Amino acid sequence: MNIIIRKGEKKDLPGVLALIHELAEFEKAPDAVTNTVALMEEDGFGEKPVFRFHVAELDEKIIGIAVYFVKYSTWKGRGLYLDDIVITEKYRSKGIGKKLFDLYVEEAKKIGAKQLHWQVLDWNVRAIEFYKRLDARIEAEWLDCKIDLK
Amino acid sequence: MNIIIRKGEKKDLPGVLALIHELAEFEKAPDAVTNTVALMEEDGFGEKPVFRFHVAELDEKIIGIAVYFVKYSTWKGRGLYLDDIVITEKYRSKGIGKKLFDLYVEEAKKIGAKQLHWQVLDWNVRAIEFYKRLDARIEAEWLDCKIDLK
C-alpha cells in the first residue's frame, strides 16, 4: 500500500467532509454535521484560517484525517486541540492513526504549544486504548457544555 | 457598586492571572498553573493573538474575567470556546457572571460562531446550575484527553 501522509489542501475538503460524516455515523449522531465544503474552505483557507489538517491518501482517495486548531488554556498557555482524527473503517489498525498523531505532536511543538488536548467518547474503547498507549491523561471529571447558535 | 464590564487590555493581565490562580485553588489544582504574565502578553497581544477576554472591574481591581478563543468543530464549523469564567469569591451571585457570559455570546455572534463550547467540573454544582439556566447542553459522555509538552 502506497499511503501518502501530507498536509491537507483545499482540494481535499470534499474527501475530508466525507470522513467527518463517517465519524458522525460511528458516533451515533449522523444528523449533527451541519458543516459544508464551502464553510470549510472559508474556515481553513479564508482570510482568518481557524483550522489546519493532515491527510492520509491512497490512490488519490482521502482515507484518514487529523484536524486541529490553536487553543488557549489559562493554566498552560498556547496549545493545539485535535478536533478529529479519523481513519476510514477499512484501513484501521494499520498504523495510519499513529502516523497522523505523530504529525499532530510535531505541529504542536512547532508552534510552541504547551499542551495537546482532545476528547473521546466514553464508549469508544478502541480509541481510548490507542490514547492510553500514547500516555494521554484521560479524565471523566470534566463535563462538556455547548450551546448551538442560530 | 460601580462595576465596569469591558474588553480586557494588556495592563489587566496581572489581575487576570491572579483570578486564574484563585480558580485553580478552587478546582483543587493549585500547582497546575504554569502560565505567566509574560506568556499571556505574547499569546493575547503578540503577533498571533490566540485568546481575548473581558473583565469586570471595581475600584481599579479586576474582580471577574471571561477568557475565550476561536475554536473549530468539524461538525459545526467556527465556534468560540470559553476557557474560563471567574468571579472572585466575594462578588459572586451578583449577576456579574451573567453579564460576562452575555458579552461572550455577543462576541461569538460577531465572529459568525456556530457554537459556544466550554467545560465544567462535575462537582461544581453552582456553576452547573448557572449553565443549566442558560439552556446549555451538559454531557458527561465526552472524556477529556491531554498530554503536556515539555
Q: pLDDT of A49-75, one tens digit each?
A: 999 999 999 999 999 999 999 999 999
Give the residue-averaged pLDDT of A91-119. 96
Query: For the domain that residue B122 is a member of, what is the CATH number?
Result: 3.40.630.30
* CA distance to partner chain A, nearest, from residue B130 (Å): 12
**pLDDT given for residue B27 in this prediction:** 87
Domain range enclosing A90: 4-133
Q: Is residue A144 part of a domain?
A: no
Averaged pLDDT score across all residues of chain A: 95
The residue among B40, B72, B104 with the most chain A CBs within 10 A of its CB, best to mutate, is: B72
Query: Would you tell me the crossing angle of helices A13-26 and A37-45 to the nearest 10 degrees?
Result: 110
Residues of B in contact with A131 (CB under 8 A): 145
**pLDDT given for residue B7 in this prediction:** 97
B11 HSE (CA, 13 A, CB side):
4
Taking a C-beta distance cutoff of 8 angstroms, is the pair B128, B120 a contact?
Answer: yes
Pull the grid cell for residue B26: 478552587
d(CA B100, CA B123): 22
Residues of B in contact with A40 (CB under 8 A): 77
Q: Which residues of chain B have pLDDT under 50?
A: none
Q: Is residue B138 part of a domain?
A: no
Among partner residues A69, A117, A149, which is closest to B72 by beta-carbon distance? A69
Among partner residues A109, A118, A148, which is closest to B145 by beta-carbon distance? A118
* CA distance to partner chain A, nearest, from residue B89 (Å): 18
| Interchain pair B34, A77: CB under 8 A | yes
**pLDDT given for residue B36 in this prediction:** 96
Residue-wise pLDDT for A13-55, tens only, equals 999 999 999 999 988 888 999 999 999 999 999 999 999 999 9
Is the pLDDT at A4 greater than 80? The verdict is yes
Q: Is residue B45 part of a domain?
A: yes
Q: Is residue B140 part of a domain?
A: no
Q: Supply the pTM of this predicted model.
A: 0.94
Task: Let me know if A131 is a catalytic residue.
Answer: yes
Q: Is residue B79 part of a domain?
A: yes
Helix, strand or coil, per DSSP, at residue A102: helix
* CA distance to partner chain A, nearest, from residue B34 (Å): 5
**pLDDT given for residue B150 in this prediction:** 80
Beta sheet of B4-7, edge-to-edge order: B4-7, B51-58, B61-73, B77-87, B115-121, A142-148, B137-139
> Strands, DSSP E only, in chain A?
4-7, 51-58, 61-73, 77-87, 115-121, 137-139, 142-148
Q: Is residue B145 part of a domain?
A: no
What is the value of ipTM here, to two decimals? Answer: 0.93
Number of domains within chain B: 1
Q: Is residue B144 part of a domain?
A: no
A61 HSE (CA, 13 A, CB side):
10
| Interchain pair A141, B137: CB under 8 A | no
Q: Is residue B143 part of a domain?
A: no
